[in-house]
Amino acid sequence: MEHVMLTNPAYFDPQAPFYPIPGGFPPGFPGGPMPFFPPTPTSSNMQFPDTTVKSGSEFGDTPPSSGSSSNTRKRNFKSPEDEKRFRVSHRILHSTALLIFLSNKSSLYIIDCLIYLVDQYRMKRARNNEAAKKSRKSRKEKETGLMEENNLLKQELTNLRAHYEQQLMLKDHEINRLQGQLASYSIPFQSNQENVDPLGMGDAKSTVFQAFSNSMNLNSR
């Protein structure tokens, strides 16, 4: 399942003033802050640790008058250096609290991004493995098909070669037979000149048979 980034209400508070999405989550979105994460101060009631100096401290604050609150009281510092040190320490405390708060948020955001990246990497690896399997399967099928075609072609060529070899053997056998017959016909005219010539061709008949025999020998070569 695809991981949802930046939309998990367990990680982000919709009321936070620095929330990245204006307006927060849509109505009816389930969830809330995680148990280990402290509630986020709202913009209308932003509360940080109280760093105000109480009465009787080393800075020599005067006690508040009757009817005045601690927020409206005035402080009397012994020197400008004391006031400057107080302002700096006050800002440092506020900045530290804000950094701690932001670090918690950013840590959860980074973890969320890492989970998303891990899920994407795993899904990509799964797709690559599946594609590789399909590629190997198709390549194997192609190789098998080529081997089958090569075997069929080789078998056809073997059969054709055997057929022509048989035809050549028959042709050689026939040539040898014809040459034997021609030799038997031509021998009497060469060995026995007194033999009766029924056709009246004489030596011309022997010459014709000899020429035919020579032509057959040339064809056989």
| Segment 66-114, tens digit of pLDDT | 444 444 456 677 788 878 877 877 777 777 777 777 766 666 777 777 7
Q: Considering only CA atoms, which of 163, 159, 177 is closest in space to residue 220?
A: 177
| Segment 128-158, tens digit of pLDDT | 878 778 777 777 777 777 778 777 878 888 7
Q: Considering only CA atoms, which of 116, 127, 118, 122 is closest in space to residue 3?
A: 116
| Distances in whole angstroms, Cα of residue 53 to Cα of each of 45, 89, 97 | 21, 11, 17
Can you read off the two tokens belonging to residue 24? 């927060």
Q: Return the percentage of the chain with pLDDT > 70, whole number.
A: 46
| Segment 122-131, tens digit of pLDDT | 788 888 878 7
Q: Are 185 and 209 in contact (CB under 8 A)?
A: yes
Q: Is the pLDDT of residue 121 over 50?
A: yes
